[in-house]
Chain A
């Protein structure tokens, strides 16, 4: 899954933290795209160009188009090398590109951009850049897929900007791991489909190629806790919810009082052989005042 991360297009967020850094994964993905023959643009803001290019072979280094905003972010030296408008201008220039073919834009990093630019402007620009392929230019020529990926340092931002960027991203990779082995939790949001959540264990080799591994335990659902069994509400009740087989048979054979069965109908329709079907035997009590006379006899009306 990790190697096909860029196949989906759109915005890919690599969320890293102090314990598990993500720049090596970023470089590995950049190398992969370069080897696939795509155009790769790098906006370097956090580290210097030499440090970023370190570890890459020369042919890969030749394919990378590096925009350096680390050395002179505000363009004070006015040498004319830096693109006008800063990193935002560079991103917008990529929106209006005319050459076709797939392009990978790697941002190092989103955190730097979030700290220097308003969040809304950044979100709008990223949305425009990453959705270029769905809105083709007026002449109808097909534009290749655009992949935008970048690092986001989780500890630097509050829940607001993180949530805003996560809602924009098509794929979110959160780096973590245990016992020296790195893992990537990949949350893939496809539009109008349920998001998929996978965890992949990996390691980065010194030449920045990706090595996928079977980790200590492959979990496809990190939320399920195997120690707590699923809750069964019908267990441990003080009353009986289920019937045994004998009880069920007895229940089925019971004739209900108001059920008008055929036997009852016949019994009613058949002429009664004797009237003595039911008798009431009454023993008068000592306190009963039973008088056979009609009490209204002494009334004179």
Chain B
């Protein structure tokens, strides 16, 4: 209104300003392009990709890691464009399980997968994914599992705080398949038709690099270069970075890299302290993060950090990744027989959570978390002894 009054002398602009003000009756700003209220929209107003949701804290687009408990610890999920680094446990049992949960979540949501490994054929890895618990029979199994876990003391009705019995129980149960985060049955394999219906790309290092390659010092980074080129090709060809105008629905690329840094990738970071290629892994992570930030993709990497000899390199790697989760299993250690830890199979350490477009990061208050692999479920619980 003030603008109309002051440019009374300029007839053209005043006229148009008055004209638009009278037309809309609300604001003198007019949206350029197709009108928002038009019934024949050219495209959806909000980008809604299956299996993603915006974060309630900072609006980042999140995907699920496959474990709802881990999602909660990471602040709702894994942000698209970031790297989740899992520091492997000593015998690589639980970290490969988390890796598989991530890939299975991708299949259930219909995301495209890219699996890279130097020791196992990606097709074999996909065959071993856990089966998703969808619809009603899963709720029955989950309830049965919870019931078996309940100790007799918890069945006594509350005597003092009896008003709390009226509150609804806050159990995180399985949700329907259209929601965020699914439950999986670790004792069953994923049905074959789900794998066939999904789109995946595999990178198996011994196939890409012939073993008769001459031994050269610079060939230590050869495997990483090949992997980066492969990832870049997939991102470009399938349009995850918006290069090809996609007529079809946008999708997320889930990248999984197994045992990065082990000698099978040609990297001697686990063998010596100051090798020739001590920077190849950090360079790889840097380039990978650049590729991820400019595309709709998310990456999980498992790394045997317990084998890395140079501790400074581990600090570099932690800084170059976005989320770092360390797994420490009790197998073979003296904690296995310690009664304080008898309920758990190991500890989870959340070493780093990113600050994406934020000044603070979303750390949870609880630092002591233990995990337990039951027959079907992988659960993460607060270590009750340390409270």
Query: Which residues of A are interface residues toward B (Cβ below 8 A)?
Result: 88, 92, 95, 117-121, 123-125, 127-128, 131, 134-135, 158-161, 163-164, 167-168, 189, 192-195, 197, 221, 223-224, 230-233, 256, 259
Contact = CB atoms under 8 A, between A and B. Distances in A.
A295 to B, nearest CB: 44
B332 interface: yes
A119 B271 contact: yes
15 contacts: A95-B211, A120-B268, A124-B211, A127-B119, A134-B124, A159-B309, A167-B262, A223-B336, A231-B338, A231-B339, A231-B340, A233-B339, A233-B340, A233-B385, A256-B159
Interface string B154-195: 000001101000000000000000000000000000000000
Given A120-B263, A161-B271, A164-B270, 13 more contacts: A88-B215, A118-B268, A120-B267, A134-B124, A158-B272, A167-B262, A194-B93, A223-B332, A230-B337, A230-B338, A231-B339, A232-B339, A233-B339
Given A119-B263, A120-B220, A167-B307, A223 B337 contact: yes
B334 interface: yes
Nearest to A121: B215
A89 to B, nearest CB: 9
Nearest to A159: B309
Nearest to A122: B263
Contact of A197 (B270, B271, B332): B332
B97 to A, nearest CB: 8
Nearest to B119: A127
B266 A124 contact: yes
Interface string B287-310: 000000000000000001011010
Contact of A123 (B160, B263, B272, B332): B263
Contacts of B121: 135
Interface residues of B, number: 40
Greatest chain B CB density within 10 A among A95, A127, A158 is at A127
Given A160-B273, A193-B93, A167 B339 contact: no
B286 interface: no
Contacts of A131: 119
B331 A160 contact: no
A26 to B, nearest CB: 23
A220 to B, nearest CB: 12
> Lowest 6 A-B CB distances belong to which pairs?
A123-B263, A119-B271, A120-B263, A160-B271, A163-B307, A160-B309
A230 B268 CA distance: 41
Contacts of A120: 220, 263-264, 266-268, 271
A124 B337 contact: no
Nearest to A117: B215
Contact of B304 (A167, A189, A221, A224): A167
Contacts, number: 94
B206 interface: yes
Contact of B270 (A135, A163, A189, A195): A163
A21 to B, nearest CB: 25
B262 A164 contact: yes
Contacts of B333: 223
Nearest to A114: B271
A128 B267 contact: no
The residue among A134, A135, A224 with the most chain B CB atoms within 10 A of its own CB is: A135
Given A124-B263, A160-B309, A167-B304, A192 B93 contact: yes
B96 interface: yes
Contacts of B96: 192
Contact of B271 (A92, A164, A259): A164
A167 B211 CA distance: 20
Contacts of A128: 206, 211
B262 to A, nearest CB: 7
A127 B264 contact: yes
Nearest to A230: B339
A256 B158 CA distance: 12
Nearest to A127: B264
Contacts of B270: 160, 163-164, 167
Contacts of A256: 159-160
A160 B162 contact: no
Nearest to B271: A119
B6 interface: no
B91 interface: yes
Contacts of A194: 91, 93, 331
Contacts of B206: 124, 127-128
B212 A92 contact: yes
Interface in B116-153: 119, 121, 124, 128
Contacts of A163: 270, 306-307
Contacts of B340: 231, 233
Contacts of B159: 256
Nearest to B337: A224
Interface string B39-58: 00000000000000000000
Interface string B252-282: 0000000000111011101111000000000
Contact of B264 (A123, A135, A259): A123
A96 B335 CA distance: 45
Contacts of B309: 158-160
Given A160-B270, A197-B332, A259-B162, A125 B211 contact: yes
B271 A192 contact: no
A119 B121 CA distance: 22
Contacts of B215: 88, 117-118, 121
Contacts of A168: 263-264
